[in-house]
Amino acid sequence: MPSTRDTRLIQIVDAAMAEAARKGGEWVVCRPGCCECCMGVFPIGQADAQRLREGLRELERTDPVRAAHVSRRSREAVARYSADYPGDSTTGILGVDPESEERFEDFADDDPCPALDPATGQCDLYAWRPLTCRTFGAAVRLNSDSVDICELCYHGASDEQIVACEVELETAELEGALEAEAETSTALTGQTIVAFALR
């Protein structure tokens, strides 16, 4: 069961993304089956990892066959990654030393996310996806960082037009509280990747 804080964070983020998509109009081409952003690994915190595991448990209850496919893809990814993982291949925690961070730059860039159903191009854990997935595509400025839009979106839009579509989203305090809560409950500190969260 997701925590009240997590539910609140997801509602805030999803509302901001809906507003950014509305403002972006036809420039935002994200649709079911478009899975360009599902390729390559990216770091996630323990709150995201915990939400993904909750989603997998729910999928096991409602659609055990799909859940088994997600689990299998996760285990296979971990097996592929273990020898060269830029961190602890037992816990899945990414290293924070300069060498590990440099190795992560090009690590598994072309691998599909284990939650991605290759037959449909859709996420099997969409409702439980990490914040990185939730905030990618439309023009959202998260916690005053730069706007990271999908390369398939905003074709023909000028920088000024993209800026006019931006939605500001400040969730750092809520995210920090959630991360501390998740790290306490899992006894894991640091970032990981989807495959290790779900194996």
For residue 148, what pLDDT is reported?
78
Residues 19 and 167 sit within 8 Å (Cβ to Cβ): yes
For residue 144, what pLDDT is reported?
83
User: Which strand (E) or helix (H) includes residue 167?
Assistant: strand 167-169
CB-neighbour burial class of residue 54 (10 A; exposed 0-12, middle 13-18, buried 19+): middle
For residue 1, what pLDDT is reported?
65
CA 198 to chain centroid, in Å, comes to 13
For residue 146, what pLDDT is reported?
78
State how far the Cα of 56 lies from the Cα of 68, in Å rounded to an integer. Answer: 9
For residue 143, what pLDDT is reported?
86
For residue 194, what pLDDT is reported?
98
For residue 65, what pLDDT is reported?
98
DSSP 8-state secondary structure symbol assigned to residue 111: P
Q: Are strands 167-169 and 140-142 parallel, antiparallel or unpaired?
A: parallel
For residue 142, what pLDDT is reported?
85
Question: Tens place of pLDDT for every residue, the chain, 199 residues?
Answer: 668 899 999 999 999 999 999 999 999 999 888 998 999 999 999 999 999 999 999 999 999 999 999 999 999 999 999 999 999 999 999 999 999 999 999 999 999 999 999 999 999 999 999 999 999 999 998 888 878 789 999 999 999 999 999 999 999 999 999 999 999 999 999 999 999 999 9
Residues 143 and 57 sit within 8 Å (Cβ to Cβ): no
